[in-house]
Structure 1
Amino acid sequence: MCRLLGYVTGVPAPISASLGEGLFGQFTSLCTIHCDGWGMAWRRPDGIGIRTSPESALVDPAYAELAHQPLSDAGMVHLRWATDGLAVSPENTHPFTDGRLALAHNGSIAPIAELESLLTAESLAAVRGTTDSERYFRYLVQEIGAAADEPEPEAVRRTISALHHRFPTSSLNALLLSPSHLYAVHVNSAATGPIRSVRAMYDSADDIPLGHADSSGYFAMAYRVRDEAVHVISSGVSPAGWQPVPLDSVLAIDLGTREVAVHAISTVTTAAGPRA
């Protein structure tokens, strides 16, 4: 269970300056909870640049160094809070990349064995860690690659819809960077967040970070469109000036034009109770 931050800018700019130092500081402060590693991925002319670490972003100087460099005009930042039972290790740290696509995930897809069963032998051979998130990424790579004649946004929407039907109570929230788009997946309508664990960390409910006190807030995502940049972010920072990403949708940001399109996915009805 993690935090996500994505950006598409007119020209390469440091994410700290593009988002704003104050908001970026708010985002980074969420490492008090999401402390099990960090990662950044960004578009390069020859593919994807990436840096990950199993250390908290609050103590790893490389995080601040990269955040203040103009790495690219499109990329993402991930703060990890490891799902119970999954190791804090380099190979489990997001984002994951194959050199062309990159993905960072906020959620848990279970059972992992069922997700793994969807992978071809070739996709499975590329897996290095133990997370559901890496298997989610490899499935997206597999299915997008198999849909070469289909517009990429439709292939992403269709694949996410299929996973939602297969795992209706899982959170598929993610950022996916391709050569043409940054996708924000906001699919979690029957997922339950780690709210009891969050509440146990604080003596007072007033101290809990924004959006972390209930599942709907925990999995919320928002985006902001400005002349110079489009950003998308998980809950935890001030919502002023941001629009909610519609629930059970994929937000597609064109890297060339910065145009934003919302693609609804087909949903399923579950017997899940209220999200605590």
Structure 2
Amino acid sequence: MCRLIGAVSRQTFPLRDLFADDLEPFLELAEEHGDGWGTAVRVPDGTVEAVKAPERAHDGPLLNTVLNLSESDAALLHLRMASPGLPVDRTNTHPFGDRDMAFAHNGDFVPVDVLDTVIGPDLLASAHGTTDSERFYLAVRRRVDDGLDPVKALMQAADDIRAAAERSASLNCLLLTSEALYAYTEHDPHSVVIDRRGTGYFGLRYRTTEDGRAVVASTGWPQPSPEWTHLPERHVLRMSPGTLDLTVHGR
């Protein structure tokens, strides 16, 4: 299982400052979640750029370079813990996407091909790796390409998985577009992962800061209430850079 963090701000910051005090405790999770890392940022021309590597976040200079030199007002960062049997390589490293959007997932579902009919052969042909997470992204992308806004696209893709998968531990994910950062949370409370990790493991929490930032993240370091707010199950949080508007969408 993976770890996620995303942030938006009123102004542009280097990524290290965008994630600020949450960055180092988040990166400490790479000691366990060490099968790759990836970032995605919104760039000034309104597109999305991603950088990723199939290595532990502390093992090379590239991540530090990205954190110090890449600047944005909206970004996400993913630490991968590969599901058993899935190769640790660049094609399976999050985030997935292109210049329009980037997607990172924490969880798994089986079988991997349960979404293939939803995605369709044309979009499925664009897949680079073998993960269920990339299929989740492609299902969201199919809905967006068909005209849905990202909030509804995330919810409908999650519905598709829930209806057809044999099991699904978690569908937690972040989606970055040129307009906003989106977070969706859902997990199976009876998952064996919960038995091992505890009931809060799949929680997503978010907060705003006095210096004009908003952050959403997986658990793994102290996130006390009321500073941090729990994102309800099966809800989407939309975070707007610039205005710092945060809206929670349910069904």
Q: Which structure 2 residue ranges, 5 or more long, are not aligned?
A: none
Offset from partner CA, 1:113-162 (integer Å, 9 cap, x none): 22223221111110011101111111111111102xx4443343333334
Tell me the TM-score normalised to structure 1 length. Answer: 0.82
Which letter maps to 2:161? Answer: L
Counterpart for residue 152 of structure 2: 154
CA gap of 1:78–1:191, structure 2 versus 1, over 3 A, is farther
Which letter maps to 2:243? Answer: T
Structure 1 runs (4+) deviating above 6 angstroms are none
Offset from partner CA, 1:150-177 (integer Å, 9 cap, x none): 4443343333334333348411110001
Tell me the TM-score normalised to structure 2 length. Answer: 0.90
The correspondence for 1:230, drawn from 214, 217, 220, is 214
Counterpart secondary structure, 1:252: strand
Counterpart for residue 233 of structure 2: 247
CA gap of 1:166–1:257, structure 2 versus 1, over 3 A, is farther
After TM superposition, the structure 1 = structure 2 runs for residues 105-254 of structure 1, keeping only pairs within 5 Å, are: 105-147=105-147, 150-167=148-165, 169-170=167-168, 171-190=170-189, 192=191, 194=193, 213-214=197-198, 216-227=199-210, 228-240=212-224, 241-254=227-240
Counterpart secondary structure, 1:188: coil
Offset from partner CA, 1:80-103 (integer Å, 9 cap, x none): 000000000010000011220100
Q: Which moved more, 1:176-185 or 1:62-71?
A: 62-71
CA gap of 1:151–1:52, structure 2 versus 1, over 3 A, is closer
Counterpart secondary structure, 1:174: strand
After TM superposition, the structure 1 = structure 2 runs for residues 12-161 of structure 1, keeping only pairs within 5 Å, are: 12-21=12-21, 23-44=22-43, 45-147=45-147, 150-161=148-159
Q: What is the Cα deviation at residue 46 of structure 1?
A: 4.7
Separation in structure 2 between the aligned mates of residue 115 and residue 158 of structure 1, nearest angstrom: 12
Residue-pair matches, total: 246
Q: Which structure 1 residue ranges, 5 or more long, are not aligned?
A: 200-212, 266-276
Counterpart for residue 202 of structure 1: none
CA gap of 1:193–1:250, structure 2 versus 1, over 3 A, is farther
Separation in structure 2 between the aligned mates of residue 25 and residue 238 of structure 1, nearest angstrom: 12
CA gap of 1:193–1:115, structure 2 versus 1, over 3 A, is farther
Which letter maps to 1:29? Answer: E
Higher RCO (Cα < 8 Å, 6 or more apart):
2
Tell whether the 8 Å contact from 2:49 to 2:98 is kept in structure 1 after alignment: no
Which letter maps to 1:115? Answer: L
Separation in structure 2 between the aligned mates of residue 257 and residue 3 of structure 1, nearest angstrom: 26
Q: What is the Cα deviation at residue 238 of structure 1?
A: 1.5
Please provide the CA RMSD for this pair: 2.0
Separation in structure 1 between the aligned mates of residue 33 and residue 166 of structure 2, nearest angstrom: 24
Q: What is the Cα deviation at residue 109 of structure 1?
A: 1.6
CA gap of 1:168–1:231, structure 2 versus 1, over 3 A, is farther
Separation in structure 1 between the aligned mates of residue 166 and residue 244 of structure 2, nearest angstrom: 31
Which letter maps to 2:143? Answer: E
Separation in structure 1 between the aligned mates of residue 34 and residue 155 of structure 2, nearest angstrom: 31
